[in-house]
């Protein structure tokens, strides 16, 4: 164990990450002491604080914060005195010239875990302190989920302006942040956190009307995506179905990704209409109608001529005869033509005057 501390201290002095080296060995050491005390973790913690921590502090002081934090998170119910002792160690870990603070050398995973532990234990001041140490005198910014955790610490304390500044910074570039751990937002499983919604809550608490910003100030968020030409589109909630020239695409808001779709056939004709049905999406082109089944990821193309009688089309008397140019947007209901082996279809027609 002591040789491991020597190696980790050397890594720290060289400016490298060390917690991957220490992770399992420190916890194993704690567990071994617990077994000596017949798995009484409270008694084991008292022994470790009385014997192990002073040794680390005397011989490897730069490891102290990490070991103290591991002991806090290992404990069944850490005492307020133990938490206060760690805060004191964190506050007194002054940065020397040319050195970086220990929290800046913690791996992203351990730093996220530490923030989350403090947040779950409602140690909001500790969350702020750790985040300040992480970014102090460096160009490093917090990762999105870490920023969310710090924002929640502000939120739980009623520091709405500080929380708003964090959530607005995320809102400008991130649609949603997957929850990497449980927290005030609930269980992590299948949970995504929306910076826009969190920022909206802060504005509401501050009495800021987001729909009416102060006069003389107008800010646009970065574009979600950019296409080089006008395009047809339709939406079904969190998805935006798009015709990018001849290529059908879908933008998934939850994934924040524009995904080109790949029909089994290619067309050189531009997609001019998109329609979303209950379980199908149709893309209209000059050489046929493409039908996509998202559930099965299958495609069909309809190229037969579609015929309808004049009684099925209501021509508007308000439009001049010379400008009657109907554009066809059809939902196809499959049916069987009894007089032929070919399929027949009933067509619903909408007219757009141009």
At 234, list the tokens.
């339709």
pTM comes to 0.52
Give pLDDT tens digits for 54-105.
Answer: 887 777 777 777 778 888 888 878 888 888 888 887 777 645 433 444 555 6
Of residues 264 and 282, more confidently modeled:
282
Confidence of residue 157 (pLDDT cuts 50, 70, 90): very high
Contacts of 62 (CB under 8 A, 6+ apart): 9, 12, 13, 102
Residue 312 pLDDT exceeds 70? no
Contacts of 349 (CB under 8 A, 6+ apart): 308, 312, 313, 326, 328, 329, 330
Of residues 222 and 101, more confidently modeled:
222
Q: Whole-number mean pLDDT of the chain?
A: 74
CA distance linking residue 182 with residue 151, whole number of Å = 15
Among 89-98, 125-134, 176-185, 302-311, top mean pLDDT goes to 176-185
- 127 and 119 in contact (C-beta within 8 Å)? yes
Q: Count CB atoms within 10 A of the CB of residue 122.
A: 13
Nearest to 334 by CA among 294, 254, 277, 269: 277
Confidence of residue 304 (pLDDT cuts 50, 70, 90): low
Give pLDDT tens digits for 258-276.
Answer: 888 988 777 788 999 999 9
């Amino acid at each position: 164990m002591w040789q491991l501390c020597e190696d980790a201290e050397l890594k720290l002095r060289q400016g490298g990450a060390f917690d991957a080296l220490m992770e399992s060995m420190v916890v194993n050491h704690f567990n071994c002491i617990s077994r000596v005390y017949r798995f009484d973790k409270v008694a084991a913690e008292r022994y470790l604080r009385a014997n192990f921590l002073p040794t680390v502090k005397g011989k490897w002081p730069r490891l102290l914060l990490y070991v103290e934090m591991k002991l806090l998170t290992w404990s069944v119910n850490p005492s307020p005195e133990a938490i206060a002792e760690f805060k004191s160690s964190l506050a007194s870990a002054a940065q020397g010239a040319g050195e970086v603070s220990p929290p800046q050398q913690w791996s992203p995973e351990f730093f996220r875990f530490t923030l989350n532990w403090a947040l779950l234990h409602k140690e909001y001041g500790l969350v702020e302190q750790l985040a300040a140490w992480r970014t102090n005198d460096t160009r490093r910014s917090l990762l999105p989920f870490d920023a969310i955790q710090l924002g929640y610490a502000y939120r739980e304390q009623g520091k709405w302006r500080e929380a708003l500044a964090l959530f607005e910074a995320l809102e400008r570039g991130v649609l949603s942040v997957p929850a990497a751990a449980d927290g005030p937002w609930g269980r992590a499983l299948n949970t995504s956190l929306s910076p826009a919604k969190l920022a909206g809550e802060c504005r509401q608490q501050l009495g800021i009307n987001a729909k009416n910003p102060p006069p003389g100030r107008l800010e646009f968020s970065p574009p979600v995506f950019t296409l080089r030409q006008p395009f047809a589109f339709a939406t079904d909630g969190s998805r935006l179905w798009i015709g990018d020239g001849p290529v059908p695409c879908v933008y998934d808001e939850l994934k924040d990704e524009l995904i080109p779709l790949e029909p089994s056939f290619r067309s050189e004709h531009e997609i001019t209409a998109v329609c979303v049905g209950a379980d199908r999406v149709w893309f209209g082109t000059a050489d046929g109608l493409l039908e996509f089944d998202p559930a099965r990821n299958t495609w069909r193309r309809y190229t037969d001529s579609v015929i309808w009688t004049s009684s099925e089309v209501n021509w508007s008397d308000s439009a001049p005869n010379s400008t009657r140019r109907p554009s066809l947007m059809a939902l196809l209901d499959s049916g069987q033509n009894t007089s032929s082996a070919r399929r027949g279809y009933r067509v619903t027609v909408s007219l757009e005057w141009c």
